[in-house]
Structure 1
Amino acid sequence: MSSGDPMERPSPAVRPEVWETYGPADLSAVPVFAGGFINFGYWKAVDLGRPLSQGDRIRSEQDLYRHVLDAAVPRGGRAVEVGCGLGLGCALALEEYGPTAVTGVDIHPQQLGRAREANSALLAAQPHRLGFALGAAEDLPLGDAEYDCLYSVEAAQHFPDLSAFAGEAARVLRPGGRLAVTSFFTVEGAPEAGKRLAGLLDSFASGLDIARPVSRLADALAGAGFADVRISSIGPQVWPGWDRWLARLWEPGTWPRNFLAAWEQQILDYYLVTAVRP
């Protein structure tokens, strides 16, 4: 790739930490994200009392998608995933939930190239049911009222403007459309949460992850006109299993192991947020 290739240069709207992590660095290839999904996992169905296998890890990542899709995806409707990564969650949605079509949106052209390669067989077999588009959460490359549901799995911690995202979600959803977002946010009322997280976790210190209470997202959705905005903590199903998996690769005291510590200190938690567009 030449130095003049636009794929090497982030859009002005994309923070450089996010551009590097999901483009050239290819987070999906890191061993801790087994199977190509890029999430911490929902470990409720996994026995944490025995040694974990790669199959357990992939099951946890798929189950996080299932937990979100259960809350959002209607059978027969059109769905969009914001921050789709390799598009494996889009494929899971098509195979298990039966939407008419799924569009995956991601911010980096290299990531979309990987998604198209990872799903090449499905794209060839069902080109009208699966598609990918380049765009940001705050400026979705989609038409008005085109979708019956919008979901996002572990991407909102990167969104720089939650109000803009909420406005775009309201714009692209049809009346009655559902939204489901899962990610990690600071615990409401935790003192100096941003400073403490930056001291514990490199992803917050570098600016890759943004420290905000989950109420910021809920308020943004309400401000954009969404109704029935609900927040539920799923931390007990995420953090202990995530740490058990990390223990295979990281020693105690190394920064990735501090996600569990941040949860135990009630600084950080993992949430599912749902809402309906009236």
Structure 2
Amino acid sequence: MPPAVQETYGPADLGATPLFGGGFINFGHWQGIDLGPVLTEEDRIRSQRALYRHVLAALAPTEGLRAVEVGCGLGTGCAMALEEYGFAQVTGMDIHPQQLDRARRAQAALLADQADRLRFVQGAAESMPYGDAEFDRVYSVEAAQHFRDLDAFARETARVLKPGGRAAVTSFFVPDADPARPGQLAALLHTFATGLDVAHSIPELTGSLERSGLTDIRVTSIGAAVWHGWDRWLSTMWQPGTWPRNFLRAYDDGILDYFTVTAARPGA
């Protein structure tokens, strides 16, 4: 595990900071939320739940199926998947043992009540501890920016999916293959400079998915629903000119965007 990931999701406990809330750790999907008035914690949580709903809806149908969330964080998205989308079972996987401990505490009531439907497992996106064709759906919400090897992630996704299964990934990516982008992002954003985030590109991700044998690959930019709301929320804590406010600048400059990418394993 890279040191920046170890620290951020371990001792630093990113999910406990005011930037996030409600058991989520994502930038949010702000469509339909009024960005004019002072944003509230309720608005923030609503945006984060909306991002999960956006991804889970892309996996439909979901009723009665088995899914794994890659990079499950505090497990709140797994609980949503069970309660709102009718999965038969959801496995939350995370590389960080401290995050899994927090997830088990946060979802203790659901684990006790529906132990056969929810579980948390330690594992890496590049080496998933599951059997072949174990899941109908694989999804990941704002974790792929931490993956070190997209080819390995794609191969593992294809391997653990059943024939006919589907995958959905949402996160922030470089929109093109310009080799200057990693340096540009490192100059603007501390998370890229420290190695917490990796400047993966959309061509890199789609190429990995194609090489793994996945098909029906579809890429959708959702940046218009993410970046302005995220920056509006950041403005309640960070002044203009501070590095977190450069996420919107990177989007405006065409260096970074937020995407949802879906793919399928061929078969019945």
Matching residue within 131, 134, 138 for 2:122: 134
Q: Which residues of 2 match residues 1-278 of structure 1 at below 5 A?
A: 14-73=1-60, 74-190=62-178, 192-278=180-266
Instruction: Give how far 1:72 is off.
Output: 1.4
- Contact 1:68-1:181 within 8 A present in 2 as well: yes
- The Cα offsets for residues 30-81 of structure 1, whole Å up to 9 and x where unpaired, read as 1101222000000002111222111110000000000000011511100100
Number of aligned positions between the proteins:
265
How far did 1:187 drift?
A: 2.1
**Aligned partners of 1:191, 1:18: CA distance in 2, in Å?**
24
Unaligned runs of 5+ in 2: none
For the 8 Å contact 2:10–2:98, the answer to whether it is kept is yes
- The letter for the 1-side match of 2:209 is L
- Distance in 2 (CA, whole Å) between partners of 1:203 and 1:99 is 34
TM-score by length of 2: 0.97
Q: CA RMSD in A?
A: 0.9
Distance 1:24 1:49 in 2: 35
Q: Contact 2:215 / 2:263 at 8 angstroms: preserved in 1?
A: yes
Instruction: Give me the whole-angstrom Cα distance separating, in 1, the residues matched to 2:164 and 2:10.
Output: 35
Higher alpha-carbon deviation: 210-219 or 252-261: 210-219
Deviation at 1:212, TM superposition (A): 2.1
> Normalised by the size of structure 1, how large is the TM-score?
0.94
What is the one-letter code of the residue matched to 1:270?
Answer: Y
Letter in 1 for 2:101: G
- 1:7 counterpart residue number: none
Is the contact between residue 188 and residue 246 of structure 2 (CA under 8 Å) also seen in structure 1? yes
Gaps of 5+ in 1: 1-13
Which is worse superposed, 168-177 or 69-78? 69-78
How many angstroms apart in 1 are the aligned matches of 2:195 and 2:97? 21
State the alpha-carbon separation in 2 of the partners of residues 225 and 187 from structure 1: 22
In structure 2, what is the Cα distance between the partners aligned to 1:191 and 1:254? 25
